Amino acid sequence: MKEQEAVSTKNARSVSLKVGVVGIGWAGQQHLEAYSRISGVEIVAAAGMEEELMAAMKEQYGIPHTFAHWEDMIELDGLDAISVAVPTFLHAPIAIAALEKGIHVLSEKPIARNGVEGQAMVDAARKAGRVLEVAFNHRRRGDIQALKSVIDQGELGRPYYAKAAWLRRRGIPTLGSWFTNPELAGGGPLADIGVHVLDYALHLLGEPKVLAVSASTHAELGPRGLGGMVGYKASSTSNKFEVEDFSSAFLRLDGGATLVIEAGWASYRNPEDEISFLVYGTDGGAELKVTGNGGLEKNQLHVFKDNGVDNADYVPVIGSNGMHQQVVEDFVAAVRGGEAEWARHDGSLALNRALVIDACYRSALEGREVLL
């Protein structure tokens, strides 16, 4: 047994790590580019249905094995790890099948359509003794990391109220696509971009336990064919709009703090997308606002303090964005860390997010506060 463990750890730390990517849309391309920049990582496979795009990716990254179906890809000998960058309803079946074959998995967010599927993925990772990570790239933003440092250093004292949001004017990913079908996506903006908001908010606040949620959802524009991203139109054979287009939730946190989150694909507001975080603490406060269309390139971060006599506000230095590159680098580091490190990366944090989102949808449906 010890010999097998030694071999397994040695393989995890070997110079060459053979990886594959399932899904070659925008997210999958981020993973491919990130892997290509890491020394000792070899992209040996990719799976996707888009023939022309696959041919282009094969040439760009020198991928020796390409497949139309993910089931064929995970049968490839020597595959150490994969990224899963496909619609949400496929996350669980692909991840579980790969984990059962001893392959480490990095999945796009959310972990799955719901907590039940997410729990099955975590159980598979634990049983296989392999890494399961989920790509929460926004916590790797330079501004989020700068604010995290401020809070961790005690500059704000004890945070007791926070509000976080990601709001769009016309931001339904594609009217009529899988995003608007709850059976495929698991939900609307709360499940799509709201899970990012929940993740970076709880990350900033030090991972407090969510005790209860009270949420509401609205579908006012999407069902009327409004609010779609510019240049993207529904087709006659598209999915109906059966999810929300705006959501809000009030979360009671362990320790007495409260968190309000908002996630909206479409509403009559400022045309620019906005990501934000506001926090009040016993010794200070802070506000982050990031605006722009697509790139969200304009950010403002302010810390509010006083020196006992006057205001002592300041603007922290913001570093560069890690985003998907850092997500993939952290995943590779976990895989290379050996079995002791693998046990620390079993997807449980992402499962926690899914359970909170589930509670929010249940609260909105039943019109009451839901305890976790």
Q: What pLDDT is recorded for position 206?
A: 98
Least confident of 37-41, 275-279, 318-322, 334-338: 318-322
Q: What percent of the chain has pLDDT over 90?
A: 89
Q: What pLDDT is recorded for position 292?
A: 87
Q: What percent of the chain has pLDDT over 70?
A: 93
The predicted-structure confidence for 161-190, as pLDDT tens digits, reads as follows 999 999 999 999 988 899 999 999 999 999
Distance CA 335, CA 268 (A): 45
Distance CA 247, CA 187 (A): 11
The predicted-structure confidence for 2-36, as pLDDT tens digits, reads as follows 344 443 444 444 469 999 999 999 999 999 999 99
Pick the CATH number of 142-320 from 3.40.920.10, 3.40.718.10, 3.30.360.10, 2.120.10.30: 3.30.360.10
Q: What is the mean pLDDT of residues 127-145?
A: 97
Residue 285 pLDDT exceeds 50: yes
Residue 217 pLDDT exceeds 50: yes
The predicted-structure confidence for 291-310, as pLDDT tens digits, reads as follows 987 656 688 999 999 998 99
**In the chain, where the domains are located:** 2-138+325-338, 142-320
DSSP-assigned letters across all residues of 258-289: EEEEEEESB-SS-SSEEEEEEEEESS-EEEEE
My answer on whether omega of the bond before 110 falls inside 30° of 0, hence cis, is yes
**What is the third-level CATH fold of 2-138+325-338?**
Rossmann fold (3.40.50)
Q: What pLDDT is recorded for position 8?
A: 45
Contacts made by residues 53-61, CB under 8 angstroms, sequence distance 24+ = 53/24, 54/24, 57/24, 57/29, 57/32, 60/32, 61/32, 61/36
Q: What is the mean pLDDT of the chain?
A: 93
- Provide CB contacts within 8 A for 55, sequence distance 6+: none
Half-sphere exposure of 256 (CA within 13 A, CB side): 5
Q: What pLDDT is recorded for position 176?
A: 85
Residue 233 pLDDT exceeds 80: no
Q: What pLDDT is recorded for position 229?
A: 87
